[in-house]
Amino acid sequence: MRDEAPLKAVFFDRDGVLNIDHGYVHDIANFEWVPGAREVISELTAAGVQAIVVTNQAGVARGYYTEETMHALHQAMQDELARTGGRISAFYHCPFHRDAVVEAFRCDDHPDRKPNPGMILRGLSENGLSPEECVLVGDNDTDVEAAQRAGMPGYLFKEANLLEFLKARLGARFPKADA
């Protein structure tokens, strides 16, 4: 039974789940954590559960910012999480989009672009995980669809606090650091 498998990883969409989505967020100066996001990652880390980010990044394809800028933001996120004992195990991003102005990133239906499950499948494989051991939290139906296509549950986050949301959705399956 899927609900009985121990939780080994939570996949998170980034914008709208971990941070407030102000539109094409790429600079730490404009980055604002969703309430409960740092805390949930810290609790997962303390319990030995991986936090993995899977994020469509059309802003790269549209030429609004570079992959290097995005990686710098991800590093700043890691630095801030480290101060509270949290860590994101891996970041996966999809810079491809059908309307890309950057030719290298133009693609009608890239396998990594959610709702396709490519980033999730790569995250499972590269981190030695099975879908039964994981869940995904996203803020769009495309996130949930990608999770389902990868064989794991996907939860649609539209709440005020990410920690409270995930504890409510997972119930007894939410990991305890002393477990």
179 within a domain of the structure (yes/no): no
pLDDT above 80 for 10: yes
86 within a domain of the structure (yes/no): yes
pLDDT above 60 for 3: no
Decide if 112 is catalytic. Answer: no
State the DSSP code for 158.
Answer: -
Structure confidence at residue 178 as a pLDDT band (50, 70, 90): low
pLDDT at res. 11:
98
pLDDT at res. 176:
87
178 within a domain of the structure (yes/no): no
- In percent, the amount of the chain with pLDDT more than 90 equals 94
175 within a domain of the structure (yes/no): no
Closest of 121, 162, 157, 116 to residue 140, by C-alpha: 157
Domain count, the chain: 1
Distance CA 96, CA 84 (A): 33
Q: What is the average pLDDT score of the chain?
A: 95
Q: Is 27 annotated as a binding residue?
A: no
Tell me the CATH number at 99.
Answer: 3.40.50.1000
pLDDT at res. 177:
76
92 within a domain of the structure (yes/no): yes
Q: What is the mean pLDDT of residues 152-173?
A: 96
The residue behind tokens 């949290």 is: 86
113, 68 contact by CB (below 8 A): no
Distance CA 84, CA 121 (A): 29
113, 122 contact by CB (below 8 A): no
Which tokens in the block code for residue 156?
């649609």
Q: Is 139 annotated as a binding residue?
A: yes
Q: What is the mean pLDDT of residues 7-17?
A: 98
20 within a domain of the structure (yes/no): yes
166, 38 contact by CB (below 8 A): no
Catalytic residue among 3, 13, 99, 178: 13
Q: What is the mean pLDDT of residues 164-174?
A: 95
pLDDT at res. 1:
38
pTM attached to this predicted model: 0.95
Q: Is 94 annotated as a binding residue?
A: yes
Q: What are the tens digits of pLDDT across the range 35-76?
A: 999 999 999 999 999 999 999 999 999 999 999 999 999 999
Identify the domain containing residue 36 by its residue range: 2-169
7 within a domain of the structure (yes/no): yes
| Phi and psi at residue 23, to the nearest 5° | 95, 110
Decide if 99 is catalytic. Answer: no
Q: What are the tens digits of pLDDT across the range 87-132?
A: 999 999 999 999 999 999 999 999 999 999 999 999 999 999 999 9
